[in-house]
Amino acid sequence: MIREYTKSDADNCPLLPVHRIISGKWNIFIIYFLERETLRFGELRRKLPNMTQATLSRQLKDLIEEGMIERKDYQQIPPKVEYSLTDIGRKFVLVLEALEQWAIEYDSYNRDNSIK
């Protein structure tokens, strides 16, 4: 059961960081791909062709700031930068798996109850 929060302590709700993480339009997809393998920027860009380069840069920066992914710069020429999930990012995959299961059940519920 989710704890009760008053309006005055809503800013301290532990669900706020979760909201920031899942509210980014592409964040779940980025985490999905990085859960499978470490990727370079261009590789992620190819896996998400409908996302602009600027959006990908912003979403990666946001996920780094949230501690979900890490950026490793190899300081070489040509430049090589890789992105991967952090330990806490890998643990978040369990949350996404639970959300996926709920989404499947919710979809079934909607079909059964003619909700659109």
Domains of the chain: 14-112 (1.10.10.10)
Given this model, what pLDDT does residue 72 score?
A: 97
**What's the pLDDT band for 115 if we cut at 50, 70, 90?**
low
Q: Does the pLDDT of residue 35 top 80, yes or no? A: yes
Q: What pTM did the predictor assign?
A: 0.83
Q: Check: CB of residue 45 under 8 Å from CB of residue 56.
A: yes
Residue 40: which of 76, 94, 92, 88 has the closest Cα?
76
Q: Does the pLDDT of residue 12 top 80, yes or no? A: no
What whole-number distance in Å separates Cα of residue 70 and Cα of residue 38?
Answer: 10
Q: C-alpha angle 67/40/74, rounded to 5°?
A: 80
Given this model, what pLDDT does residue 47 score?
A: 96
Residue 86: which of 43, 35, 36, 26 has the closest Cα?
35
Q: Does the pLDDT of residue 10 top 70, yes or no? A: no
